[in-house]
Amino acid sequence: MFNYLEYIREKNFPHIWCAGCGDGIVLKAILRAIEKSGISLDETVMVSGIGCSSRTPGYVDMNTLHTTHGRAIPFATGVKHGNPKLNVIVITGDGDATAIGGNHLIHAARRNIDITVLLYNNYIYGMTGGQCSPTTPTGSRAATAPFGNIEPPFNTSGLAIAAGASFVARADVYNVANCEKMIAMALAKKGFSLVEILTPCPTAFGRRNKMASPVKLMEWLRDNAVPAAKWKKMTEEERRGRMETGVLMDVDKPEYTAEYEKLVTSLRTGK
């Protein structure tokens, strides 16, 4: 039986997340995926920026970095480049990674550096007051959009695919088994991997959008997060307002640190 106590810093509990927040669900999925992957905690580094999701490293018993807003991916890139043998996991949110950190996300995917990015998409800036984020759905209310957001949201997974990521998946906190599976697959992939995890904020997003209880948000995910196999059979009209989940991209391509090492070897040996 899986023992969570082997993976957490008990002294840092209870956690600070709101009641009903899906971040705790994601944390448990991450730990189970790590356990199933068999990777060493001593050779794993978890890096985060700023936001609700970025509190995650404080609860896990491994090497961790809690960095500045939007800069988790550059820090992780430095860690991986400094020691390519490490397993590097980035914990970030939709605001942290697609707004102030958006350019870093694009170029880490383009370089295909071997890090695993777990992006908690809560559809809003949850920690700082409920402002619109780049993923807030059109028409949804927020502190900065009291009459409804008029902007189209980012397709974050699509952005990572277009930028050149090796592995991209989307999961949600209602279907926990699939979330754990997607994380495990990302950890096993050589190259840049991103799992976008749908975990709507019950406090800043749900209360403003007629989903005041976490149960309502879970029901919303149940009804609107669609497995890839079913998605392919749906019409454009049926897809409107819903999200495809599962593996969205899985390809093999040269990885940055391995290519860099080849270059260094070539220059050193003259071959």
Q: Is residue 8, in this structure, part of any structural domain at all? A: no
pLDDT for the residue 270: 85
Q: Is residue 121, in this structure, part of any structural domain at all? A: yes
Q: Is residue 259, in this structure, part of any structural domain at all? A: yes
- The number of distinct structural domains making up the chain is 1
Q: Is residue 1, in this structure, part of any structural domain at all? A: no
CATH code at position 214:
3.40.50.970
Q: Is residue 12, in this structure, part of any structural domain at all? A: no
pLDDT for the residue 139: 96
| pLDDT tens, position by position, 186-208 | 999 999 999 999 999 999 999 99
pLDDT for the residue 219: 96
pLDDT at 26 over 90: yes
| Helix extents (H) in the chain | 23-37, 72-82, 94-95, 102-111, 156-163, 176-188, 214-224, 228-231, 236-239, 256-269
| pLDDT tens, position by position, 209-228 | 999 899 999 999 999 999 99
Mean pLDDT of 107-136: 96
Confidence of residue 271 (pLDDT cuts 50, 70, 90): confident
pLDDT for the residue 181: 97
Nearest residue to 245 via CA among 200, 201, 196: 196
- pLDDT above 70 coverage of the chain, percent: 100
Output the average pLDDT for the chain. 95
| pLDDT tens, position by position, 63-105 | 999 999 999 999 999 999 999 999 999 999 999 999 999 999 9
Q: Is residue 4, in this structure, part of any structural domain at all? A: no
| pLDDT tens, position by position, 152-164 | 999 999 999 999 9
Residue 66 to residue 121: CA distance in whole angstroms: 19
Mean pLDDT of 246-253: 97
The number of residues in the chain equals 271
Enclosing domain of residue 174:
17-269
What tokens does 221 get?
Answer: 């995910």
